Structures are given as structure tokens and as C-alpha cells.
Structure 1
């Protein structure tokens, strides 16, 4: 291309020298010079825009990091403050344990006959009644026999059976509670406590499934005692009572017990006391009987063995 342009320039110079002497001017080249910058000028802006766009990218990433840090720091204080509030509510729901009922105190009662004081009784009694109420819940109620003057004792002084009936009216009740003890003469030398009956008003047993008086009975002949003597047992004893109400049981806790029936004098004092601490246990006679049977068996076996040996010696000598 350079050689071609050089040749053109040389030919044009020769023509100028060899011509008529008129000055021939070359045409201007305005369209060539301005077109060159217009075609090359758009390229620099495209190169400058690309770095601008790349600089905007880190700005967007910085915004995202700030928002994530804010969202992660807000929830923890809210959850930690709720936990202690839930733990402090628990102690308010707990209730205090019920106070235990006081122990029963002993009282003394007598039954007077025509010319004698036939029964003298001293004891402390507390009844523990367990039943299912109308709300289908198990309830425990304690009923205590009073030892003060609020009780009234009556009875029967018979030849074969004697009875003492102790009544008391609880506060707010319209009927009496009572406990009845039956003593029976076994023979001409001894008597015993035959059975015990207890009657409790339904008002003393809240929401029990009955409208009538609750009857409880301990039907067992116990505490055999010689006539003209008294029976004494200071330790606490538990007597099971059967009831006439479904889903109800009762236990009578008797302590400081002493009684004497079939008396022949008018004094309210006890006779000679046969204490329960000196009662012979059932295991002792059973053990003695077994020992005697074993001794008899041993003697019988020894006798049979000795007899066979003696017979064998007689046969050998013959």
C-alpha cells in the first residue's frame, strides 16, 4: 500500500510540473479525519463502564452482610428471657402438705347395774375410714372418739352377755355416733370381748355414696380374761372393720385399753390386770408340740433298730 501511494504522489507531481502552470489543489480530506475519531471514540467508554460495574458488586455484598448480622443477634435475648418466667410459675402451683390429725386421748366409762358396776372401760380410739366418694376419688377420714364429757355411756348388765354403748354428737350433726362393745362369758372362769360395732353419721364422711348411717363391725372374739380380773394393753392395736357401704373400709386404732366386765362390786376401779405383754404367742406351743413329736419318733426308731439287732444275734447263735 505504501508503494502504491508513493507512485500516485509521484505521478501527481509530474503532472503539476508538466502542466499549464495552473495550480491544482488536492481535495481536502475532511470526511476521512473526522470519521476516524467517531469510529474509535465509542470503544473507550465501553472499557471504562466495565470497571464501574465491577466496583458496584462489593457494595451489594457489604449490604447483605450487615443485614444477616442484625437478624441473627435479635432472637437470642427474647428466648432467654422467657425461660426464667416459666420456671418461676411452678412453685406457685405446689400446695402445702396436710397437717396430721392429733392422737386420740383415753377416756373412761362405766355401766351401772342394779346393785353393781358391771363394766369399767378405759381406752383411746380413732377410726380411719377409706372410701370412694361421689366424685370417684379416694378419701381418707379420721373420726376420733372424744374423751371429755360430751360422750354418754349406757349398757346392759346381763348374766351371759354385757354391753356398753358410748355415744357422742359431732359439731353440726343432727344425730349421734356410737361405739358398742359386747362382752360374753365363756364359762364359769373366763370372759372375752366378743365383737365391736361402730355407727358413723354420713355428715362426718363427706360425699360418701350413702344417705344412711355407716355401720362398721369387728366380729372376732378376743382378749380372753379370767373372771374378777381386768384386761390391759397399753400399746396401739389396729382392728379391721367391715362396713355396710360399698367401696369403703375402716381400721380402728385402739390404745391404752383396759376393761373389766361381769363385775360383782360397786367400785369403778379395775381388778387385777392381765397384761397383753405376758400373753403366750401361738408359735411357742406349736414349737413345743413339734419337738415332742420328733422326740417320740426318734425313740420309736431307736427301739425298732435295737429290736432287729437283738433278733439277728439270736439267729446267729442258733
Structure 2
């Protein structure tokens, strides 16, 4: 029963993840795929008072992009998402928009080089504005060769202390895929945070095992010493 419930919630989590892609209309080749759950952590300054709000995507209105774009005189690929956030009502009907720009270099197959979030008022968020990429905290969404990027939570910093969290993120750009989903044999590069965590786990386990061995050894030596004092033959 427990396993069945776990499997149900795991499938529910996968099914609820947002799925976006950009396909070249002329060739039918997909160049960008982005899967994940978005959380927008917004910060507004009003009369020297800081207000913080959190928003998620309720439903997607429109997705488009360009597999052959230009940004700052370099070839890029773009993903543009228009969506309705949670808490939006008929009183505040305007959708939000997220624009993501992917670039490439000799060392990288792709990397997010720019992004902008345009927000509107909702019943839950009384302020609105445009949030741009924080160049000091742009995140590490990048991969090499033909690999994709994977992260439990990819963080994209925005100017003013705001940020975008992409949970259970799977991303690829500058790809040449015949479908709109990740291939079953796709190779992923893990983000720095997850890679660091995966290194820490075996170290902690190893330290615990070493401590256990020391405790057992000390216990054995103490028992042996007591046995000698009582005149028993040593084992």
C-alpha cells in the first residue's frame, strides 16, 4: 500500500511539471526543451517597505520562441512563455510573460545568457513590474556537447533580490531532436548544488561507518581487558 501511494504521488509530480519546447517550423527539428515546476519569488519596494510574494504558474497561455535568433550580436535561441499565475481573476486578467535566451560558446553546448520576467497585478499580489537577470547571480543552467541539464532546483537570480526557482528542472537547447520530449538515452549534466550534495553523502556514510568500526573495536578491547583481569583466557 505504501509503495503504491509513493508511486502515485511520484507520477503525479511528474505529470504536473510544466513542459515547454521550441521547434523550427521549417525543418520540424526541436531545438529547446524545458521541463520543470516554476516558482517566482518576487520582491517589491514600496515607500521604503519591502514586500515579498511567491507565485506559480496556473496555466500556460502561449509558448513560442526562435531556434535562429540574435542577441547582443551572437546567435541565440529563445523561449517565450505567456501564462496565467495562481491567484489571477477576472478583475486582473493580464497574463505574465517569461523570456529566456540561450547562448552557446566553444566550451558550452548551451547556457542561459539572459532572462526577463514581466508580471501583472493579481488578487494575491498588489504590485507589478519587470524583473531582469541579476548578472551577479545568473544561475548555472549550462551543459556541454549534446548533453542536457538536470537539477532538483535551478535558481535564476533577478535584480532586486527576486528569483525564479525551476524545480525538477530538465533543460536542453541548441539541440536537434525529432521529437518534443527528451530521448530515453539522453545524457544529463547535474547542477553544481546536486553534484556537491552527491559528493557529501558518501563522505558522511563513510565517516559513520568508520565511527561504528571504532566503537566496536573499543568495545572489544575493553571486554578483552576485563576478561584478563578476571583470569579468563583471552580470545
- Structure 1 length as normaliser, TM-score? 0.45
Q: Which residue of 1 aligns with 2:170?
A: 258
Could you say which structure has the higher strand fraction?
Answer: 2
Number of residue pairs matched by the alignment = 165
Q: Secondary structure at the match of 2:176?
A: coil
Q: Which residue of 1 aligns with 2:42?
A: 129
Query: How many angstroms does 1:183 deviate by?
Result: 0.7
Quick check: which has more Rg, 1 or 2? 1
Contact 2:79 2:101 in 1 (8 A): yes
Q: Which residue of 2 aligns with 1:228?
A: 146
Query: How many angstroms does 1:176 deviate by?
Result: 1.9
Q: Partners in 2 of 1:223 and 1:266 — Cα distance?
A: 23
Query: How many angstroms does 1:266 deviate by?
Result: 1.9
Q: Partners in 1 of 2:93 and 2:37 — Cα distance?
A: 24
Q: Partners in 2 of 1:185 and 1:122 — Cα distance?
A: 20
Contact 2:17 2:35 in 1 (8 A): yes
**Considering only aligned residues, what root-mean-square deviation do their CA atoms show, in Å?**
3.0
Q: Do structure 1's residue 180 and structure 2's residue 99 form an aligned pair?
A: yes
Q: Partners in 2 of 1:221 and 1:252 — Cα distance?
A: 10
Q: Partners in 1 of 2:106 and 2:155 — Cα distance?
A: 28
Higher RCO (CA 8 Å, separation ≥ 6 residues): 2
Q: Partners in 1 of 2:178 and 2:134 — Cα distance?
A: 30
Q: Secondary structure at the match of 1:222?
A: coil
Query: How many angstroms does 1:222 deviate by?
Result: 2.9
Contact 2:36 2:169 in 1 (8 A): yes
Is the alpha carbon distance of 1:118 and 1:133 closer, same or farther for their aligned partners in structure 2, counting shifts above 3 Å? same
- Structure 2 length as normaliser, TM-score? 0.60
Could you say which structure has the higher helix fraction?
Answer: 1
Tell me, which stretches of 5 or more residues in structure 2 are unaligned? Answer: 1-12, 70-74, 198-235
Query: How many angstroms does 1:110 deviate by?
Result: 0.9
Residue of 43, 55, 63 corresponding to 1:153: 63
Query: Which aligned pairs between 1:228-307 and structure 2 lie closer than 5 A?
Result: 228-234=146-152, 236-243=153-160, 249-270=161-182, 271-276=186-191, 277-278=194-195
Query: Which aligned pairs between 1:17-96 and structure 2 lie closer than 5 A?
Result: none
